[in-house]
Structure 1
């Protein structure tokens, strides 16, 4: 009985941490959308990455270990995936409602089987095709790929999901070999370098206007706290619980979009939300059965 209660408490903690993560990351999206009125996306990514490096450095001081070339290759792929995921997400925020950009980013689990196919030559199981087709039907509802409705920035938003999917797959590959702090540290270092190069290539100044400093600080802090909560949630609850619960981030983003910008999703966006959530729910339940 006590063991059952302990497991229930851990599951409850995992769910609460996941909801907290979803809320905090929705704040990141709100402020990131606002701060881009005064600074370019690569500049924002550079400063948020540098902040997280400074926070993580004391935690890893004296704990670095030699790594093989293979590990460094996976680190690099994970970092590029995470970097492009944020870059495309922030770019999309400039041109489409927050809830739609967030929703497209949350399509990452739909892209994971195809990333695994590319990286490991592992075919997609037949049982996975039904939830995938349901999920991508939801993506089509949001993008509305007709000559009259197609907005290329929806496609940019979906590219953020592909980048995030690469990040998810490679993070899992690293999880059994290095600490989460090391994974995050390497990611933010590479992200800072790539965003710096992109900012210089675009001729952007890294100097922030005074009004932008508080907003960049909020983006950086909420990003770090969000990633910490997400990692912590996985220590209490399995992916089969965390993945669908994290979809609460779409709800929070929808509320912020309505309160701040007056954006209300149309019937196609609502249909897309429902289909994508249903797809993720089916996929996670299938994964839970297979692991059990």
Structure 2
């Protein structure tokens, strides 16, 4: 039975609320990244971090579903598609978590911003979407920014961590494409619920038996905070799209870098290098230009559609 949340009635646009929710998402994900690094410092393994990210993130997800009245969120017409999304999403999450074990918080965050650049490439290869020279130029410039951060000619950062972070960004791009494909027939709550439960099942059955360890109270607090921050970030991210257009809210994702710099300084006394700042500026600039082009193309298409002649009746 469809719920009020899943009805055809479109939620009222509220850009201020949408921006606020997006800021909440960026903040939540920054704190989640910080708790992942704290977890590694406390000796928690990657499978444990991934499992507890889902386990303690499940209550906020279920609360979201209950409040929306969408009790049929578990129903799906495409279980195999969700399993494929789980395989891709879980793999990319493992790489993203592992990158935080090798790299400072700010550098790992900057490289993660390459995901939208990979998404543009995959949208052409997989979804057969049209991408003009302006967006290709933005992608090329963005990858220059990534190279500035990674400094192939020599850097104090571990090369393994840089490679893992780049693979994680590519994995996130693959997830974005997969979600866009699934989203044509499946709701957001269904997609998130299936991903959460199936990922918990895979990690719990095949890895936790080997990696689970007892922890002290401080470590458990970190793990709970990890799950709650990740779950809240997912809710804020999804809700923001209901109240404001994508070009309005996506630029606020880059606030995650400012939080990463602040948390890295407070918790680990680390500061980004000049190369990291320069690369971040290039990546963010290319991302903002891509958003601008998307918005401009959308306005032009609406204008063309509005000017199109109305065919005579019967034609």
> Normalising TM by the smaller chain, what interval?
0.7 to 0.9
RMSD: 2.3
Q: 1:54-65 alignment to 2 at 5 Å?
A: 55-57=60-62, 59=65, 61-65=71-75
Aligned to 1:3: none
Shift of 1:252: 0.7
SS in 1 for 2:126: helix
Aligned to 2:178: 170
TM normalised by structure 1 equals 0.87
Aligned to 2:305: none
Measured against aligned partners, the alpha-carbon deviations of 1:164-210 in whole angstroms (never above 9, x if no partner) come to 11222222223342221111011112222343356359x31255444
Aligned to 2:7: none
Larger Rg: 2
1:41 aligned to 24, 37, 46, which one? 46
Cα contact 1:135–1:275 (8 A) shared by 2: yes
Cα contact 2:52–2:226 (8 A) shared by 1: no
The 10-residue stretch of structure 1 (132-141 or 157-166) with the greater mean CA deviation from structure 2:
157-166
Would you say 1:86 and 2:90 are equivalent positions?
no
**Unpaired stretches in structure 1, ≥5 consecutive residues:** 1-5
SS in 2 for 1:34: helix
Cα contact 2:99–2:164 (8 A) shared by 1: yes
Would you say 1:274 and 2:286 are equivalent positions?
no
Aligned to 2:294: 287
Would you say 1:26 and 2:30 are equivalent positions?
yes
The structure-2 alpha-carbon separation of the partners of 1:139 and 1:178, relative to structure 1 and needing over 3 Å to count, comes to same
Would you say 1:160 and 2:168 are equivalent positions?
yes
2:241 aligned to 231, 234, 238, which one? 234
Cα contact 1:82–1:167 (8 A) shared by 2: yes
Cα contact 1:53–1:188 (8 A) shared by 2: yes
Shift of 1:100: 0.8
Q: 1:1-292 alignment to 2 at 5 Å?
A: 10-37=14-41, 38-53=43-58, 55-57=60-62, 59=65, 61-67=71-77, 71-122=78-129, 124-147=131-154, 151-196=159-204, 199=207, 203-205=210-212, 207-292=214-299
SS in 1 for 2:211: coil
Cα contact 1:83–1:191 (8 A) shared by 2: yes
> Could you say which structure has the higher helix fraction?
1
The 10-residue stretch of structure 1 (162-171 or 207-216) with the greater mean CA deviation from structure 2:
207-216
Shift of 1:147: 5.0
